[in-house]
Amino acid sequence: MKRDILKNYRHIFGPAEMRFRFVEDHRSVFPVRVMCSVLEVSASGYYAWRRRPESVRAGADRLLLQDIRRVHAESQRRYGSPRIHAACRPRVTA
C-alpha cells in the first residue's frame, strides 16, 4: 500500500515546471537543494529554469489572463466564459 502511494504521488506536483515554481515560491522558507531533492528535480535544472526568459507565448497568456480577470471583476463576477471570451476577443484580434 505504501509503495502504491509513493509511486503515484507525481500527479500531485505535475510537470517539472510546476515543481520549479513551487521551489521558487518557497525558497525563502526551505533550502533549494532540499526541495529539489524531495520533488525529484535537479537543482541545476531549477537554476536554469530561473535564468530562462519568458517565452512570447507565456507573455501573451499572462496578458490574456489579466484581461480575463479584469473583465470578470468589472462584471461583478457575473460573466461566464462566453461573455468573457466575447469581451476579450476584440483586444486579441486588434
pLDDT in tens, 26-83: 999 999 999 998 888 999 999 999 999 989 998 999 999 999 999 999 999 898 889 9
Task: Answer whether 0.85 is exceeded by the pTM.
Answer: no
Indicate the DSSP class of residue 29.
Answer: T
Helix (H, G, I), strand (E, B) or coil at 4: helix
23 burial level (CB within 10 Å; 0-12, 13-18, 19+): buried
Please state the domain extents for the chain. 2-51, 56-93
User: In Å, what is the CA distance from 67 to each residue of 45, 55, 77, 80, 85?
Assistant: 32, 19, 13, 14, 10
Per-residue pLDDT band at 9 (split at 50, 70, 90):
low
